[in-house]
Chain A
Amino acid sequence: MWKATRISADAAEKMQVNAGLLLNTFDVKNPVEPQDSAIVCETTGDFSITCTPEVTDFFEDVNNAPTNTKEGKRITGWSCSLGVTALSITTETLALALGASETIENGGLRPRTQYTAEDFKSLYWIGDMIDENKLLVVAMDDTVSTGGLSFTSTNNGKGGLALTLTPHATIANIEKVPMAFYILEKVAAGA
């Protein structure tokens, strides 16, 4: 008799492997190998990427209406984020973690009390699939750190900077959710 305990013939091909890279630039129309300069930072541990709808129930206060009807479900927005621990400790990654900061004397950084348009950047996470020709890409618009700077040093170990990066919608295009997902065919350099 057949069993439900089985996997599909192409199960392995659809799996994503390894931690991937956080990039400050990537062309989803031409997914070639990124240059070193595109890599935001070296990382440790997992990347955690979430994209969660914020929903309301339009019928929740309607007498006799059951909760969680599909007709009553409304999306009021999307809450997206990327979390990872950075091992690269540079002025750029410190500024990224702070979100809003200004350069001060001796190349230092001080948090600012207001965001500027320049604080919001496009960022990309890319990761390999088991099928070595394929790539998973998460594109994030207008991304800024909302977790602030959280740095931990450790005896006989490497210091780590916890990053919580949040892409943002814009009132210039309120329908556009600031995170997109792609599974792309890699393009060889020079192709």
Chain B
Amino acid sequence: MTRDEAIFEFWSSFGLAAYEETTVPSGDDAPKLPYLTYQGVSSGFGTEAQVAVSLWYFTTSLVAVNAKADEISKRIGMGGVVIPCDGGAVWIKRGSPFAQNVRASNEREGLLQKYINVSIEFLVND
């Protein structure tokens, strides 16, 4: 599994559809809320990239989106989580602050974006 596939699989493992943020379908193909988007970043061995992940919920309640952010936080855990991939592994760590709420759009009342900061260190042999 390539590093990009490993990262996609990780973000897809939280019960939400996950999209690299430049690939979210629009129009009639727009995904149903809630879903997750993440910045697609790749880098060389030993380098660490700051990555933004967003949870998109249509809600005025924070209960479900906070629970999902907690789930992601726990999965990453203290010290981060290492995901094996071809050539080594990617090491995903909590950023600081880990999560914050953003009012996504004034045009669509109730659209909530939970903005999550992580860093990814690439331990991949190439």
Contacts and interface: CB of A to CB of B under 8 A. Distances in A.
A132 interface: yes
Contact of A8 (B80, B89, B125): B125
Tell me what chain B mostly uses at the interface: helix, strand, loop, or mixed: strand
B123 interface: yes
B124 interface: yes
B79 interface: yes
A7 B47 CA distance: 14
Given A11-B88, A17-B79, A130 B123 contact: yes
Interface string B59-96: 00000000000000000000110100001110100000
A104 to B, nearest CB: 38
B115 interface: no
A18 interface: yes
A141 interface: no
Interface string A60-94: 00000000000000000000000000000000000
A132 B89 CA distance: 12
B89 A12 contact: yes
Given A7-B45, A17-B79, A18-B79, A130 B125 contact: no
Most buried by B among A6, A7, A13: A7
A9 B125 contact: yes
A15 interface: yes
Contacts of B89: 12-13, 130
A179 B124 CA distance: 33
Nearest to A11: B125
B124 to A, nearest CB: 7
B43 to A, nearest CB: 14
Nearest to A17: B79
Contact of B123 (A6, A12, A128): A12
B93 to A, nearest CB: 10
A8 B125 CA distance: 7
Contacts of A18: 79-80
B91 A17 contact: yes
Contacts of B125: 6-9, 11-12
Contacts of A12: 88-89, 123-125
